[in-house]
Amino acid sequence: MDTSALFNIGYGLYVLTTRHNDTDNGCIVNTVTQVTSNPLQIAVTVNKGNYTHELIMNSCVFNVSILTTETPMFVFEHFGFQSGRTVNKFANCEAEHRAVNGVLYIPKYTNAFLACKVNNSIDFKTHTMFIADVLDAQVLSDKPSVTYDYYQNHIKPKPQTPKPSNGKRRWECKVCGYIYEGDFLPDDIECPLCKHGKEEFVEIFDAETPKQSPITTNMNQIKLTDNIFYVGVNDRRTDLFENHMELPNGVSYNSYLIVDEKVALIDPVEAGFIEEYLFKVKSVLQGRKVDYLIINHDEPDHSSSIAAVLREWPEAQVVGNAKTFAPLEAFYGPIENKKVVAEGETLSLGTHTLQFFMVPMVHWPESMVTYEQANGIVFSNDAFGGFGALNGGIFDDQVNLAFYEDDMRRYYANIVGKMAMQALKAIEKLGGLTIKMIAPSHGLVWRSNPAWVIGKYTQWSKHEGEEGVVIVYGSMHGNTGVMADIVARGAAEAGIKEVKVYDVAKTEISFIMSDIWKYKGVIIGACAHYANMFPNMNLLTHEINEFKPKSKCFGIFGGMSWSGGGVKTLAKYAEEGQWNLVAENVEVKGAPIREEDWDKLYNLGKTVAEAILKV
């Protein structure tokens, strides 16, 4: 249905006057109709919020003065833009013109009046239709009656409406011209002058307020609060995060928009998703501009769309800290409009105030978090993030957390874990704030139970491992794999229920690192490869020494073909990484077909298991 069709109904404009208990009042109406000629009756419909309505309900008399095309705007303003509850609209009348019913009529700018007495009424919830006998009628001039259309085109001033003073959008009441300013037009708005509702308001535009795009207001709006929006995207097409970590469940690049007197966009998204991202941001902004682009972290999975964002809103100020801009400009070239914030500095957007806290090395040196004070929201960037695209559920209370926990720990172990101390310091620093919601740049938004994710990050940062053993092997022809099974038997028989065995050539390293972070026991096995070890194992051992998971009980085993190399290389890594080796290294010639080798491997698993059970 196209309700604008109703605008094509012809309407006149009238001053409806009444009198009750010596109080005269009147208002502008456009709903006068003759309903019968014998008896002569008219109908007029009046909004219940009008003071004139209240008086007619008591007096049951009214006059209709029919306005002409010569009526100046001030007459409409006088009777239509103010309430008789606060203003005596007839206070300065020089001469009283009363009809037979005792009610005033308007002698100037009118061509006739009708004096009426109410004989019936119909209640329309918001309005009342008064049906009245016409007691008297007089023609006052031969000027043509004004129509609503004429009023709009010839009397009402053309929009010399106030320019938006603060970037706000504006809507005009079509009935009386009242201007409403705000971010959105409330559903329950009632014009304070003429009492009409939302359906009578139209948005007005001028050079400073671009006409809105065809993007509809309600699409893609995911709210953290009334004025804070989630505008992130899901990436299910990238195979490898940072080009080396598998993404079987995808990943989200979260971004947030705060709409206040000033608009702040917090951390953009990976550039490959720019179209979807801009669509989402614009669908919220509806023509408003971004005033601040907050860069909590320079890494390109967030910042690579910065140029596209600034092309869209070139006046936006880019907000970062003292370490933000050198890398950012190294990636993307000069940034003109910079705002450097310091530790604890605040930035007011209107009712929202942002405060910035540095969390260096979580994940890069310039990393910071943005705290929104009014609602207690921490925009934490990589901290408290996780792998896994957001499958409809954006908030922690909308999903089964068990589905996300492994992906969160894998993210932590491979991205934040190396800086566990800094992560811990960051958690302690944020502990002084009232945190009601954690909004990271990857993964779930924690609005119901932020303590859950803080607890997990604290546990992982403190290297508090769980009871379990990870056994990883590299094997060219399967013999070292057979050895791994014997080691696993020893660990299981010693009472460890969580024993995870991985072939390093089959399972991508980030998954193995995640379990190494999770469990207390780590047993690594590698066959020889020339005088070194199985090549794929080098990457894992490199990562272990890079990320330095602590409080582990390590063991080493491997096979040798002619001169060995697997165990020897592992021992070198162990020495460099100061692994806590709790058992003798086991090296087996060929296959584990001799009982003594079988015993050594079994006891390796058992010894590591017993060590972790004691911790």
Q: How far is the CB of 543 from ligand FEO (least distance, A)?
A: 17
Nearer to ligand FEO among residue 302 and residue 447 (C-beta): 302
Question: Which is nearest to 231 in space by CA: 165, 191, 198, 275?
Answer: 275
**Taking CB under 6 A as the rule, does residue 301 contact ligand FEO?**
yes
Q: Which residue, 226, 246, 176, is CA-closest to 411?
A: 246
> Is residue 170 within the footprint of ligand FEO (CB under 6 A)?
no
Q: What single-letter DSSP state applies at residue 155?
A: I
Task: For ligand FEO, give the closer residue by CB, 359 or 504.
Answer: 359
Residue with tokens 């869209």: 312
| 468 three-state secondary structure | strand
366 binds ligand FEO (CB under 6 A): no
Residue closer to ligand FEO, measured from CB, 18 or 367: 367
According to CB under 6 A, which one of 299, 366, 407, 515 is a site residue for ligand FEO?
299
CA torsion, ordered 180, 185, 187, 193, to nearest 10 deg: 10
- The answer to whether the CB of 176 falls within 8 A of the CB of 193 is yes
Amino acid identity at 594? R
Q: Is 363 in the site for ligand FEO (CB under 6 A)?
A: yes
**Least distance in Å: CB of 362 to ligand FEO?**
9
Instruction: Confirm or reject binding of residue 441 to ligand FEO (CB under 6 A).
Output: yes
Q: What three-state secondary structure class fits 210? A: coil
Which of 35, 33, 51, 46 is CA-nearest to residue 90? 51
User: Which of 19, 170, 442, 600: binder of ligand FEO (CB under 6 A)?
Assistant: 442
Closest CB 528 distance from ligand FEO, rounded Å = 37
CB of 396 closer than 8 Å to CB of 446: yes
Smallest gap from residue 301 Cβ to ligand FEO (A) = 4
Taking the complex as a whole, the smallest distance from the CB of residue 483 to ligand FEO amounts, in Å, to: 38
Strands 317-320 and 338-340: parallel
Nearer to ligand FEO, 415 or 581 (CB): 415
Query: Considering only 18-26, 232-240, 295-303, 538-546, which stretch makes contact with ligand FEO by CB under 6 A?
Result: 295-303
Residue nearest ligand FEO, Cβ-based: 299
Two structure tokens written together for 26: 């009147």
Binding part of the chain for ligand FEO, among 105-113, 296-304, 476-484, 510-518 by CB under 6 A, reads 296-304
Query: What is the C-alpha separation between 386 and 506, in angstroms, rounded?
Result: 23
Supply the minimum distance, in Å, between the C-beta of residue 302 and ligand FEO.
Answer: 6
Q: What is the DSSP pairing of strand 353-358 with strand 368-372?
A: antiparallel
Per-position b or e across 201-222, b if 16+ CB within 10 A of its CB: beebeeeebeebeebeeeebeb
Question: Looking at 54-62, 298-306, 486-494, 510-518, which segment touches ligand FEO (CB under 6 A)?
Answer: 298-306
Closer residue to ligand FEO (CB): 260 or 299: 299
Number of residues that bind ligand FEO (CB under 6 A): 8
Beta bridge partners of 431: none
* Contacts (CB under 6 A) with ligand FEO, residues 379-408: 382
The yes or no reply on residue 302 touching ligand FEO (CB under 6 A) is yes
479 interacts with ligand FEO by CB under 6 A: no
Nearer to ligand FEO, 299 or 396 (CB): 299
Q: Report CA-CA distances (Å) from 427 to 332, 383, 442, 451, 454.
A: 31, 9, 17, 11, 7
Q: What residues numbered 307-326 form the site for ligand FEO, per CB under 6 A?
A: none
Could you please report the per-residue DSSP string of 260-300?
Answer: SSSEEEE----GGGHHHHHHHHHHHHTT----EEE-S---H
Q: Does 410 bind ligand FEO (CB under 6 A)?
A: no
Looking at beta carbons only, is 231 or 470 nearer to ligand FEO? 231
Could you give the string, one character per residue 576-615, with x where binding to ligand FEO holds by CB under 6 A and - elsewhere?
Answer: ----------------------------------------
Least distance between ligand FEO and beta carbon 253 (Å)? 8
Q: Which stretch binds ligand FEO (CB under 6 A): 3-11, 88-96, 205-213, 297-305?
A: 297-305
* Phi, psi for residue 393 in degrees, rounded to 5: -75, 120
Q: What's the rounded Cα separation, in Å, for the pair 102 and 114?
A: 12
> What is the contact surface with ligand FEO in residues (CB under 6 A)?
297, 299, 301-302, 363, 382, 441-442
